[in-house]
Amino acid sequence: MAFEGRVKIVVPGDDPVQIQGSPELAKLEPYGDLTICKDRPATSEEKVKRAEGATVIMNTRGSVKWGEEELRQLPDLKIISLCSIGTDMIDLKAARALGIDVCNLPGRTAPVVAEHVFGMMFGLAKRTAFLTEQMRTGKWPRMNNVMLQGKTLGVIGTGNIGAEMVRLARAVGMNVVAWTFNPSQERAEKLGVQYVEMDELLKTSDVVSLHVAVSDKTRGLIGERELGLMKPGALLVNGARGAVVDTPALVEALNSGHLGGAAVDVYEQEPPPPDHPLFACEQVILTPHCADMTVEGVELLNVGVVENVIAFLEGRLQNVAN
């Protein structure tokens, strides 16, 4: 059912800047009054206060989270439109129980994110961060890099981003195996990969790349046991969510020399604290959850988040995540 009259639309915390200044915002003018909060709410109370009376929340930053108690205080709220693929910042079950639709952007920036993850994998294999730091201290290190052509990439999760990672890896001559919760021969043939059991993937892959959403099934998916199954010297790349990997186990696997390195764009706490143990590991590449932060990627998300709002207000709901 389409909404009659104008509605209140709120962006509760656009920091760092995502949608401020986007020409896409002009498309919302016929539908309602838009308020953009340019800093993050300091408290839960402030966050709720900003969204009071809103029919629509456009959540442009994953750091702005919505739990059940907060959502219960917003009786006018009907939709949260996320500027992301991930939905872990929202209590989806609570939102559904309260009649709040949550819409995300599946696949919108898959090529952008996969390119970042692919670049991290190459940087890790060529030891770029480590060698740069060594040279800055006046050293001239000699150590072997990893040649990726002909090596095996294990892709865990073959949604839109995982599928794009498969395509990029095959293009540079890597062998690819994959794992997913619901493998099918049709999907395998479409991607040009072989689905294998998780243990086999871990044991045979030279690089393991993670592309699963965080859920009860995937939280801690890669822990001490799984890391122990990986080849000595293998590389791990996490562009999924921080909670998918047991961080202490990963640090131990790196420090012991069992793993050859890790590239990480996502963390359980963002930003991570200054004493985060990965900062002390040598063979790591760390980026601040920025895989889709290109000019193109940012605007693709802005287009999508606005489209989802307009579709809802016109009575043609799309991309519902809950």
pLDDT at position 25, please?
Answer: 97
The verdict on whether 241 is a catalytic residue reads yes
Q: Which fold has domain 7-108+295-313?
A: Rossmann fold (3.40.50)
pLDDT at position 296, please?
Answer: 93
The verdict on whether 226 is a catalytic residue reads no
CA distance 102 to 132: 43
Same fold, 7-108+295-313 and 110-286: yes
pLDDT at position 307, please?
Answer: 97
3-state secondary structure the chain: CCCCCCEEEEECCCCCCCCCCCHHHHHHCCCEEEEECCCCCCCHHHHHHHHCCCCEEEECCCCCCECHHHHHCCCCCCEEEECCCCCCCECHHHHHHCCCEEECCCCCCHHHHHHHHHHHHHHHHCCHHHHHHHHHCCCCCCCCCCCCCCCEEEEECCCHHHHHHHHHHHHCCCEEEEECCCCCHHHHHHHCCEECCHHHHHHHCCEEEECCCCCCCCCCCECHHHHHHCCCCCEEEECCCHHHECHHHHHHHHHCCCCCEEEECCCCCCCCCCCCHHHHCCCEEECCCCCCCCHHHHHHHHHHHHHHHHHHHCCCCCCECC
What are φ and ψ of residue 35, in 5° steps?
-120, 125
Q: Which amino acid is at 165?
A: M
CATH 3.40.1010.20 fits 110-286, yes or no: no
Domain locations in the chain as residue ranges:
7-108+295-313, 110-286
Q: Enter the pTM of the model.
A: 0.89
The verdict on whether 211 is a catalytic residue reads no
Query: In sequence order, which residues have a C-beta less than 8 Å from that of residue 129 and are 6 or more positions away?
Result: 123, 284, 285
Contact present, 322 and 79 (Cβ < 8 Å): no
Q: Which of 61, 116, 211, 241 is catalytic?
A: 241
Q: Which of 270, 282, 296, 314 is catalytic?
A: 270
CA distance 116 to 277: 23
Q: Give me the residues paired with residue 9 across strands.
A: 34, 56
Contact present, 117 and 265 (Cβ < 8 Å): yes
Q: Per-block average pLDDT, block size 10, for the chain (322 residues)?
A: 86 94 96 96 96 97 93 97 92 97 93 97 97 96 96 97 97 97 94 96 98 94 98 98 97 98 96 96 96 93 96 96 94
Q: Cis omega (within 30 of 0) on the bond before 274?
A: no
pLDDT at position 1, please?
Answer: 63
The residue whose two tokens read 């929202």 is: 90
